[in-house]
């Protein structure tokens, strides 16, 4: 088994090695974790184009000076014109399509998050590196080309039939009409120009300058309800993350519309699970551990499906859903020896998660997404921006908690996690993978904190997924084939519908974890299911 990577003055992890390298290059120049993450975010948008884009959203959870937690919500609202009536007039009453301009109905917020992080770096951390430096790697790679990964090639091929006719897709993501092959050089010159403009004029140009006007006009041509006024109204928001105590640690995650609350709830429920003595004896790859977490996931998803949406539209404040009394009551529904009914309501999705910790202990847990692979499939002709389809997660049912309304944030599977440990250490961790995100977060956290794994070991062990996520279409409990067959048999005996997937299956996510130990030692693990790396110095 691969060992974790260690460092002293800085460390970064990403699902593509070039993004981790961009972050550490900034740290080596004296930059802080926020500056490093801006650089990594720009690079990953170029080198993993099927997973994320500057046309998507992002969330940040930050361990700031004095271990004060903070965060940035850089997610966009639906268009002012986006309503159930707008879709009904187009004959759409069942669900919002996943692809095309009418799926591109929310503002892309991630660039505003880069700007907010850069400003916060200067104001609170003495950051000095200009945006032009932080975007330099991304601009070079977009202009000069990236080596096509197996993940990009296989995803392009798998989604080609549904995407090839979307405006701008073939011209951007195919080479002479063909799917680019692994190792080919893939250039994105229009994106390079757009990133260079943002580097020169600032992130605000994406929402209020000539670029914004151009994008708004091109969005209108493809049938999107977004307008220049929608772009101009957008701002990233500084937030205080949600918090819950678990096993002596203080866990932090993103506020709604993120499902960070779900991730916290799963771990808080597992902390109350009455059968831990059996689980501890069975180990981190046992049926007992899988069963406990799967049952916690089902209970947490019930809360999510009833309450979580744009916080401006929630009937209960998010912190109310994390009170000890509520969690205790929910935990009583655990059945240690039988599987609870599964409603099969999970959604697929893709994204990237990355982490950075600098020499001063400033830590960032970051996630950036366009929702489905290649988002809406629409690529704007002048800017080369691939626009997200996050808004297709809205329901057109007026009674649904996540029903569509103008200027509303859609529910997000995205959630970056952070833990302040009882011994004074800090951990950032996360993954891509839609509804698999809170499950994998719980898996790797417990493997490290309860079973004593090092981060790389926790990530490399075989994993599982309840429901659907990126690349998956069934709602079963999926186990990687490296699990002992006896584990699958025991889970079936408990009432789980078990399916075996690949030995190192991307469907269970691209996880990562970084830890700053109490003595200042930095340690990290990356996911071999990705093209990632941990880089430290």
Q: What is the CATH number of the domain that holds 254?
A: 3.60.20.40
> Is 443 inside any structural domain?
yes
> Is 522 inside any structural domain?
yes
Q: CA distances (Å), 142 to each of 48, 131, 162, 192, 217, in order?
A: 11, 16, 25, 5, 24
Sheet containing 363-371: give its strands across: 237-239, 69-74, 57-63, 363-371, 350-358, 10-14, 533-536
Residue 488's pLDDT is 97
Residue 278's pLDDT is 75
Matching residue, tokens 């929310």:
106
pLDDT in tens, 348-364: 556 899 999 999 999 99
- Look at residue 472 and tell me whether its pLDDT is greater than 60: no
Residue 2: CB atoms within 10 A of its CB come to 12
Torsion of CA 250, 524, 254, 64, to 10 degrees: 70
Q: Give the range of the structural domain holding residue 450, as residue numbers without chain letter.
A: 245-349+420-536
Contacts of 219 (CB under 8 A, 6+ apart): 101, 104, 226, 227, 380, 387
User: Strand, coil or helix: what is 251?
Assistant: strand
192-214 residues labelled b (16+ CB within 10 A) or e (exposed) = bbbbbbbbeebbbbbbeeebbeb
> What is the set of active-site residues?
351
Residue 475's pLDDT is 80
> Is 336 inside any structural domain?
yes
Torsion of CA 385, 386, 390, 391, to 10 degrees: 70
Contacts of 259 (CB under 8 A, 6+ apart): 304, 308, 411, 412, 413, 414, 415, 437, 438
State how far the Cα of 526 lies from the Cα of 17, in Å rounded to an integer: 10
Q: What total of structural domains would you count in the chain?
A: 1
Q: Tell which phi-psi region holds residue 439, choosing left (phi > 0), alpha (psi between -120 and 50) or beta.
A: alpha
Q: Residue 351 is encoded by which pair of tokens?
A: 């994204």
Residue 343's pLDDT is 67
- Determine which of 29-33, 222-226, 373-377, 412-416 has the lowest per-residue pLDDT on average: 412-416
Q: Which pLDDT band, with edges at 50, 70 and 90, does 473 fall under? A: low
Residues in the chain: 537
Q: Which pLDDT band, with edges at 50, 70 and 90, does 279 fall under? A: confident
Q: Tell which phi-psi region holds residue 38, choosing left (phi > 0), alpha (psi between -120 and 50) or beta.
A: alpha
List residues bridging with 526 in a β-sheet: 512
> Is 234 inside any structural domain?
no
- Look at residue 299 and tell me whether its pLDDT is greater than 80: yes
- Look at residue 344 and tell me whether its pLDDT is greater than 90: no
pLDDT in tens, 220-239: 999 999 999 999 999 999 99
> Is 505 inside any structural domain?
yes
Query: Average pLDDT in the 306-322 region?
Result: 94
Residue 192's pLDDT is 98
Q: Which pLDDT band, with edges at 50, 70 and 90, does 330 fall under? A: very high
- Look at residue 487 and tell me whether its pLDDT is greater than 80: yes
> Is 240 inside any structural domain?
no
> Is 439 inside any structural domain?
yes
Contacts of 358 (CB under 8 A, 6+ apart): 9, 10, 27, 31, 32, 33, 36
Backbone φ, ψ for residue 125 (5° rounding): -120, 5
Q: Residue 489 is encoded by which pair of tokens?
A: 């048999």
Residue 471's pLDDT is 52
What is the chain's Cα-based Rg?
22
Mean pLDDT, rounded, of the chain = 95
pLDDT in tens, 60-79: 999 999 999 999 999 999 99
Residue 134 DSSP class: H
pLDDT in tens, 138-186: 999 999 999 999 999 999 999 999 999 999 999 999 999 999 999 999 9
160-190 residues labelled b (16+ CB within 10 A) or e (exposed) = eeebeebbbbbebbeeeeebbeeeeebebeb
User: Strand, coil or helix: what is 403?
Assistant: strand
Contacts of 378 (CB under 8 A, 6+ apart): 99, 100, 101, 103, 104, 166, 167, 168, 169, 222, 224, 386, 387
State how far the Cα of 494 lies from the Cα of 132, in Å rounded to an integer: 56
State how far the Cα of 179 lies from the Cα of 173, in Å rounded to an integer: 7
Residue 302: CB atoms within 10 A of its CB come to 16
Residue 444's pLDDT is 97
> Is 195 inside any structural domain?
no
State how far the Cα of 419 lies from the Cα of 445, in Å rounded to an integer: 9
List residues bridging with 73 in a β-sheet: 59, 237
Q: Which pLDDT band, with edges at 50, 70 and 90, does 280 fall under? A: confident
Backbone φ, ψ for residue 279 (5° rounding): -65, -45
pLDDT in tens, 187-218: 999 999 999 999 999 999 999 999 999 999 99
Residue 183 DSSP class: T
């Amino acid at each position: 088994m691969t060992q974790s990577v260690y460092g002293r003055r800085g460390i970064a992890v990403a699902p593509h090695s070039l993004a981790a390298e961009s972050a550490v290059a900034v740290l080596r120049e004296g930059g802080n974790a926020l500056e490093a993450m801006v650089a990594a975010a720009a690079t990953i948008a170029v080198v993993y184009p099927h997973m994320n884009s500057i046309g998507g959203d992002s969330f940040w959870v930050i361990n700031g000076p004095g271990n004060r937690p903070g965060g940035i919500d850089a997610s966009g609202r639906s268009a002012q014109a986006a309503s159930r009536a707008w879709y009904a007039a187009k004959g759409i009453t069942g669900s919002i399509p996943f692809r095309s301009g009418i799926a591109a109905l929310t503002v892309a917020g991630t660039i505003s998050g880069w700007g907010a992080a850069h400003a916060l770096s200067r104001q609170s951390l003495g950051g000095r590196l200009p945006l032009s430096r932080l975007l330099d790697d991304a601009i070079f790679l977009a202009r000069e080309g990236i080596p096509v990964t197996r993940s990009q090639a296989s995803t392009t091929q798998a989604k080609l039939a549904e995407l090839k006719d979307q405006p701008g897709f073939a011209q951007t993501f195919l080479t002479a009409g063909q799917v680019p092959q692994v190792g080919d050089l893939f250039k994105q010159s229009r994106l390079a120009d757009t990133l260079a403009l943002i580097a020169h004029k600032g992130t605000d140009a994406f929402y209020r300058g000539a670029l914004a006007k151009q994008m708004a006009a091109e969005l209108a041509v493809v049938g999107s309800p977004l307008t220049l006024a929608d772009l101009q109204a957008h701002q990233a928001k500084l937030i205080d993350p949600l918090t819950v105590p678990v096993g002596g640690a203080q866990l932090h995650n993103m506020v709604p519309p993120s499902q960070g609350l779900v991730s916290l709830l799963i771990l808080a429920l597992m902390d109350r699970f009455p059968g831990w003595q059996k689980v501890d004896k069975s180990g981190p790859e046992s049926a007992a551990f899988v069963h406990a977490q799967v049952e916690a996931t089902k209970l947490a998803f019930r809360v999510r499906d009833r309450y979580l949406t744009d916080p401006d539209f929630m009937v209960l404040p998010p912190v109310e859903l994390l009170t000890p009394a509520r969690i205790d009551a929910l935990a009583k529904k655990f059945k240690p020896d039988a599987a609870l009914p599964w409603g099969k309501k999970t959604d697929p999705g893709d994204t990237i998660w990355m982490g950075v910790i600098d020499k001063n202990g400033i830590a960032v847990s970051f996630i950036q997404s366009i929702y489905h692979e290649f988002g809406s499939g629409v690529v704007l002709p002048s800017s080369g921006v691939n626009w997200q389809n996050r808004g297709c997660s809205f329901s057109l049912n007026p009674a649904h908690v996540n029903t569509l309304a103008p200027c509303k944030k859609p529910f997000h599977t995205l959630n970056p996690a952070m833990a302040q440990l009882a011994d004074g250490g800090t951990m950032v961790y996360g993954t891509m993978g839609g509804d698999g995100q809170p499950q994998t977060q719980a898996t790797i956290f417990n493997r490290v904190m309860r079973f004593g794994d090092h981060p790389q070991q926790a990530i490399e062990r075989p994993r599982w997924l309840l429901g659907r996520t990126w690349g998956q279409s069934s709602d079963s409990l999926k186990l990687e084939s490296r699990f002992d067959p006896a584990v699958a048999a025991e889970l079936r005996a408990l009432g789980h519908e078990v399916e075996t997937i690949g030995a190192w299956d991307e469907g269970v996510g691209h996880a990562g974890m970084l830890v700053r130990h109490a003595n200042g030692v930095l340690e990290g693990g990356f996911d071999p299911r990705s093209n990632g790396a941990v880089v430290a110095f």
